Chain A
Amino acid sequence: MPANQPLWLRAVIRVERTIGQPIEAAVRSDTYFDLVSTTTRVQRKVAGTAEGVSRRCLHLLNLPAGSDIRGLRQQLARMERRLNELSHDVAELDGNEPPSGVT
């Protein structure tokens, strides 16, 4: 800690370290890892359930749900990827781009 730091700053840094070290140890513990994985799974399950309910409601009204839009976006992305690959293949066949040499 530099000697020219004011007293208040040194105190804050000391307090931060005093509190921070046990917290850092705690977030590297098995208990914390278990808590994170459980929380993540619960969050996903709750979100999935809520999404399922809202999807059914929207479909009853013949309206698209967020998951439908997402599915469409994924399909479009897949198609765009395929198109990009084909354009690159064509460019390589034309000799405009170097082919990848794999060993």
Chain B
Amino acid sequence: MSPRVPTALNPGDVLQRVNRDVERSILRARNGIRYVRGTNRPALGATPKDVVWKSGKAELWRYKGGDRRYGPPVVIIHSLVSRSYILDLRPGNSTVEYLTGAGLDVFMLDWGVPDELDADNDLERYVDWYLPRALAEVRRVSGHDEVTLVGYCLGGVLAALYAAGHEEARVRNLILMATPMDFNEMGAMVALLREGRLNPEEMIDETGNVPADALYSGFYMLAPTSEVAQKAMLLENLWNDEFVEGFQAMATWSRDHVPFPGAAFRQLVELLVRQNILMTGAIPLGGRQVVLANVRGNVLNAMAERDNVVPPPAVEPVMELVGDPTRREELRLPGGHVTFGTGRSAFKHTMPKLTAWIIDHSDPSP
């Protein structure tokens, strides 16, 4: 009887492994050169869309997709600090694409990149000026009286204030994704401003806005060494085109912040951060009190369990403050502030659950 060759040393397996490693090395070299040269960048925000309304830097996009089988239309209100393509990162990994694919009529209100012209944009400008006009256009082009509003991060605050402060809002569903309510729970992101170590004026530059670099630094300092592990993961997976494309897309987005309009920033710091006013359930806006409990319609509070930008304790009070208590629901999802809206985890958890909730609270289109 001949001695058995251990499995690990089986010549066939060894040869296969060597072949695989050689192939991967070639692919690593090719992708490495492309990565360093900055070529083969993935297409970001690529879902086809039409601009249906525009005012200043703000644009309202309506996404093209398959059949629009459900109404009312879904309108995504993006945050003021980042680029909206995070929700339409790349084909196959896009919340927008998922929603349109499910038969929903999806709109996105994108705020553009603010400059000197937008320095005076305050919360009233967004809540009482842009939103009513953009949503009137949504109603006009979609033919629906009602809307489903989806607010992401600070966009959720704007959406909630609009839904609460406008009688004509006709918001059937209000979905708040990672929307901060309790700014005392926001941790390191706002600690410098809350405790008065820095004043808003010290962060506002000559354009009248908070520069994008300052916002990037704030996010970067939450986990300053994590880039090392991310780069190591990239090196290991450099042979994998899909991984490299996803990595490049996320890396591009995470550095692509936009300036924060100065007037809105001053209000944010004074009212939301220092006075933590949302926790009182009302906020003075445009000479009136906007009471969050006045939101009519269903409220879904979606939060990410490992969110270190807007941690769950900052989001949870939505369940006690916004809308009618009998029409509030909570959705806890795995992932962090960004990864619960994009990436594999989002595709597996957030997108199906969010889509199912919206469809459950919509009507089939005639």
Contact = CB atoms under 8 A, between A and B. Distances in A.
Interface string A45-81: 0000000000000000000000100100110011011
A98 to B, nearest CB: 4
Interface stretch (B12-20, B86-94, B222-230, B335-343): B222-230
B116 A98 contact: no
Contact of B195 (A6, A33, A74, A101): A33
Contact of A16 (B168, B195, B228): B228
A77 B133 contact: no
B232 to A, nearest CB: 4
B120 A37 contact: no
Interface string B123-139: 00000110011001000
A1 to B, nearest CB: 11
Nearest to A27: B221
A20 B165 contact: no
B117 A77 contact: yes
Nearest to A40: B202
A27 B288 contact: no
Given A40-B202, A77-B117, A97-B133, A20 B223 contact: yes
Contacts of A28: 187-188, 191
Nearest to A5: B236
Interface in A73-102: 73-74, 77-78, 80-81, 84, 88, 97-98, 100-102
A12 B203 CA distance: 36
A100 B129 contact: yes
Q: Chain B contact residues (Cβ within 8 angstroms of A): what range?
A: 35 or more
Interface in A15-38: 16-17, 19-20, 23-24, 27-28, 33-34, 36-37
A63 to B, nearest CB: 19
A64 to B, nearest CB: 15
B166 A33 contact: no
B133 A20 contact: no
Nearest to B199: A37
B251 interface: no
A81 B165 contact: no
Given A9-B236, A101-B132, A101-B168, A44 B208 contact: no
Contacts of B66: none
B226 A20 contact: yes
A12 B286 contact: no
Contacts of A78: 120
A101 B225 contact: no
B227 to A, nearest CB: 9
B38 interface: no
Nearest to B137: A98
A33 B193 CA distance: 10
Contacts of B225: 16, 19-20, 23-24
B198 interface: yes
B288 A102 contact: yes
Given A20-B225, A36-B192, A41-B202, A103 B116 contact: no
A80 to B, nearest CB: 6
B197 A27 contact: no
A103 B55 CA distance: 23
A37 B229 contact: no
A24 B224 contact: yes
B129 A20 contact: no
B233 interface: yes
B3 interface: no
B132 A100 contact: yes
Nearest to B206: A70
B188 to A, nearest CB: 5
6 contacts: A28-B188, A33-B197, A36-B197, A44-B202, A101-B166, A102-B128
